[in-house]
Chain A
Amino acid sequence: MDDSINQGFDPKSEQGFVYTKLDSIINWVRANSIWPQPMGLACCAIELMGVGGSRFDIARFGMEVMRFSPRQSDCMIVSGTVTYKMAGVIRRVYDQMAAPKWVIAMGACASSGGMFRTYSVLQGVDKIIPVDVYVSGCPTRPEALLDALITLQKKIGTEHSTKGLFSAQK
């Protein structure tokens, strides 16, 4: 999508006008200002906090604004084991998020229940909410989480944003 901007813009002949798809612009804006909602449940939450620290620095991606309010955030990062007791809460918080919204399942527990195949653990958060990116790890290394966020940015770049612009996201 960057290419279309570069190809489209030739200052001499275009005389200051840029041609690109509306999709590209909207995707570019959304991808570069994701505000995560850290659904920090267990051990992965500590690595999530580490990503916010100065060594792994999520701020260089524009994502240091960790908004806990679902109304103000874009991407829910489910980090940690999801128990049945907590699952209802996660579902409600997800429902309250405004479109466009994405979900990253961080770690083994969020992706599939992890090492806890027990009576109280939901085997994967994708049973209750749609997940965009799964990250493995127990806990996920901060570099892997950054990789997941970059993958999410690429995924956002391929979306047809103009289609569902004025309708609710499922």
Chain B
Amino acid sequence: MEQKEFTYPEAAALAEGRVGEKMVLNLGPSHPATHGVLRLKLELDGDLITRCDPMVGYLHRGQEKIAENMTYNQFIPFTDRLDYLAPLSNNIAFAQCVEKLAGLEITDRCKAIRVICCELSRIASHLVGLAAYGMDAGSTTVFMYCFTQREKLCTLFEQLTGARMTSSYARIGGLARDIPEGWLGNVNSFANQFLPALDEIDNLITRNKIFMDRAVGIGVITPEQAMQWGLTGANLRASGVATDLRKDVPYLGYNNYEFDVAIGVHGDCYDRWLVRIEEMRQSIRIIRQAIEKMPEGNVNINNKMFTLPQKDKVLRNMEDLINNFVLITQGPDIPKGEAYFEADNPKGALGFYVMSKGGGVPYRVKVRSPSFLSLSALQEILPGHHMSDAVIILGSLDFVLGECDR
């Protein structure tokens, strides 16, 4: 590896006193499907990692360039495939950014439904993240328990949007359709049975000696390091930095809900596990409040330039037909300008930077991906650890390559 000399004192000191050659080991890109196509070029001194060069791009699909050729609503399905573990929250983050650019104010009912969707996605994403993390630490039971719960969530998503995973639910100015009858009751039943199930998962791992030996004190990220490397979300909070975009830069009416933010103390892999478990509990709390306070009214804003007219009117009324046609083929007319919006997604802060030159197709869309920056921090975190710790650290950072490579 020809790049910069690492100055991280521990690794350098350890390497200097030793005699012998260092080995370059390739971890990936085809390694257990839990983390996706990541390639780690590790320089090893025996079992100790002295250098780490993460290589990404094996899933680069050109989504930012695709965005320059699609209308805003046509791009929503592509946002599903970014963080494919929590597709609803990606859709909503993109729609929020464009609505900010256009200066639209969505209805209260839409906000409440979006909050429920975001929090359900958070639970879904953390379940997969923890399942993979636990499985890498050696426990397959965690995987089974988490996926059982996730299947229930997939059923909920399917009832709401029609698809288990890739929902494409948000639209500019609202949502694709209102919630079906009885859906809130199903969410409530899910929430009621989820907390005991979460306790079961907790019991398996949290005070498990093997897991604690493997995770406590490993992969420590100090708060300064976390802020410097641009970490966000659970990774940042586990290091002790109290930043939660839902509370600090509130969107979707999050300031109307009561919830706590889990902050870690040591910034090690164990803290990242604990923070994610606690975040799931708080998500259930938010969902319950949102269901209770669900306002009545329309889901979409009352603006012909953004909202599609009712289908029965489209088939009978000339004006509505033309309106429908123009909105679908040309897209909503977003004014010139630029906007940046970060949503507190399960993996971190997913940001969209949208620059528009007018018209229905964006000029430039940049996706600020939390997993991209989590992986870049590996260059500093991994050196000094043993080979077997690498897997635990990767699991605890909970990244997704679809989001990292776009």
Contacts and interface: CB of A to CB of B under 8 A. Distances in A.
Direct contact of A and B (CB under 8 A): yes
Interface string B29-65: 1111110110000000000000000000111111101
A23 B308 CA distance: 60
B380 to A, nearest CB: 25
Contact of A55 (B143, B151, B401): B151
Interface stretch (A3-11, A80-88, A155-163): A80-88
Nearest to A68: B32
Interface residues on A, range: 35 or more
A-B complex: 10 closest residue pairs judged by Cβ atoms: A40-B33, A53-B147, A118-B62, A43-B84, A86-B58, A55-B151, A116-B61, A45-B33, A38-B33, A85-B58
Interface in A64-91: 66, 68, 79-81, 83, 85-86, 89-90
Given A39-B30, A40-B34, A118-B66, 8 more contacts: A43-B166, A48-B33, A53-B147, A68-B31, A85-B58, A89-B30, A90-B30, A139-B164
Given A38-B33, A41-B37, A42-B36, A54 B144 contact: yes
A83 B37 CA distance: 11
Contacts of B31: 68
A151 interface: no
A68 B30 contact: yes
A42 B165 CA distance: 12
A50 B34 CA distance: 11
A74 B6 CA distance: 42
Nearest to B132: A49
Nearest to A109: B61
A84 B32 CA distance: 20
A163 to B, nearest CB: 31
A93 interface: yes
Contact of A80 (B59, B154, B165): B59
Interface of A: 38-43, 45-50, 52-55, 66, 68, 79-81, 83, 85-86, 89-90, 93, 115-116, 118-121, 138-139, 141
A83 B36 contact: no
A120 B61 contact: yes
Given A42-B36, A46-B85, A89-B30, A83 B147 contact: no
Q: Secondary structure at chain B's binding surface: helix, strand, loop or mixed?
A: loop
Interface residues on B, range: 35 or more
A60 to B, nearest CB: 14
B128 interface: yes
Contacts of A45: 33, 36
Given A41-B36, A43-B402, A116-B66, A53 B144 contact: yes
Q: Among the interface residues B33, B77, B85, B166, which one has the most CB atoms of the partner chain A within 10 A?
A: B33
A47 B33 CA distance: 11
Contact of B148 (A47, A55, A119, A121): A55
Given A42-B402, A138-B166, A54 B147 contact: yes
A43 B57 CA distance: 16
Contacts of B131: 49
B124 to A, nearest CB: 10
A121 B78 CA distance: 14
Contacts of B128: 46, 49
Contacts of B62: 116, 118-121
Given A53-B144, A81-B59, A42 B66 contact: no
Nearest to A77: B33
B61 A81 contact: yes
